[in-house]
Amino acid sequence: MRKETLRIHCSNGHLGFAPTKEESFWIGANTKPDYYCCDSGSDDIGPVPLGADKCASHHEWQKHDLELMLLAARKQGVPMIIGSSGDTGSNSRVDMYVDFIREIAKKHNMKKFKLVYFYSEVDKKYLRKKMEAGQTIEGLDGRSNLTIEELDKTDRIVAVAGVHPFIKALEMGADVIIGGRSSDACVFSAPAIYEGFPENIAYYCGKVLECASFCAEPYGAKETVIGTITKDDVKVTAMSPTQRCTVASVAGHAMYERTNPYYEYVAGGMMDMRDCVYEQHDEKTCRITGAKFVPIEGKIKVKLEGSGKVGERYLGMAGIRDPYTIKHIDEVIQWAKDQVEERFAGKDYKLSYRIFGKNGVMGDLEPIKETKSHELMIIVEGVAPTKEVAEEVAMIGMRQIFYARLPEVKGTAGTAAFILDEVVEVSSAYQWTLNHVVAVDDPLELFPVYATEIGE
């Protein structure tokens, strides 16, 4: 180990998804941590941003968070590390973040520093060649192995980096690292491994820090926490004056997935937290020991995420307060579906309904038996190959809620509290096409690393 202790600053569980809280950020920065690290992406945002190659987070919020980190890291002269740039880690999002760093450095007349960045996108030709050579691209989470048909439906693929490109960047002398799609935890684990700390400590540190203040209580998002590690333990401390990292909050955050096979495909092993011991170190700090990391033998496997376009998409909304209609909402929805099918029989379209308030539970899609709900909100979604058809599907599917023919209804007055007269165009519809792993000979094979100088 280069140091006996290492301190890592994490200010946001998803950089830019909502702005970092500045008070706790600077409280943490004033303690002079060794690294400023932040994950900036997730597949929790769904397949649309990856497929459409755009951000789910507001550009100004992302710049705000990057600026805080860059100012603190450069003032202190320690590395700053970002993973999964721009929500998805696609090549264009990495380039966008590199440009943001340039803009911020120019704004503050920063002295020269080395920026190292890496890409994560995977060309479909690369996978096709492997498949044609007989290699199996294994499915995860119950998915079948990848087929050529599924590959053809895919618009964009990213590989999920482990610690390797981050360590490579640090070996190149990086002051700032802008990463493509990455394991959330490996953004934090990489500098710990680079500094010589044991893998079990490094990976648990990454696990506990990745969501920032989600491991603290009371709940408060986008607040800074700091992880302090030795060769034997991890300590995590809340920086917000209103929060503490307790045995309950830290253990609860870790135990929602007690063993995480995700690590098998990004780090060459599996994290096992079943024997962790949690202790209250001080009022704001929890100490953790006993984490294990079990290496997986054999060829290195890298996780792949892929998204493909399904069609164009329109949304409509209807609100219902009539008790009789609410009681028979399943028949109402079926009536509306039948009217759309009558119009578009044999054509390619998708119609879906999301009912909020049903059975008194938001988003509950189970058939109604008894309900105390006095009001329902129904989101109608129409998807089709063209905007014209998608718009009409959504419009018929929404308006026919108003015209549903129910027994004992003499007229339509009062059936619906309101229906928006128009449907609105939203982002195109995408679906996940890849949740697979590919075997590689070199852990850096899918992650080309580049360096540049920024500043005056």
192, 205 contact by CB (below 8 A) = yes
Mean pLDDT for 200-223 is 94
The whole-number pLDDT of residue 273 equals 83
pTM score, whole prediction:
0.91
In this predicted model, what pLDDT tens digit does every residue of 25-53 receive, in sequence order? 999 999 999 999 999 998 999 999 999 99
Kindly report, as residue ranges, where domains of CATH 3.30.70.1130 are found in the chain.
309-432
Q: Reply yes or no on domain 309-432 having CATH 3.30.390.10.
A: no
What band does 261 get if pLDDT is binned at 50, 70 and 90?
very low
The whole-number pLDDT of residue 405 equals 83
Residue 217's Cα: distance from chain center in Å? 22
d(CA 297, CA 44): 29
325 pLDDT higher than 50? yes
The whole-number pLDDT of residue 412 equals 55
Cα dist from 361 to 250, 262, 325, 376, 377, whole Å: 29, 32, 17, 10, 11
The whole-number pLDDT of residue 265 equals 47
Contacting residues for 373 by C-beta, under 8 A, at least 6 apart: 326, 357, 358, 359, 360
Cα dist from 122 to 43, 197, 448, whole Å: 16, 31, 11
In this predicted model, what pLDDT tens digit does every residue of 278-316 receive, in sequence order? 999 999 999 999 998 888 777 888 999 999 999 999 999
In this predicted model, what pLDDT tens digit does every residue of 111-164 receive, in sequence order? 999 999 999 999 999 999 999 999 999 999 889 999 999 999 999 999 999 999
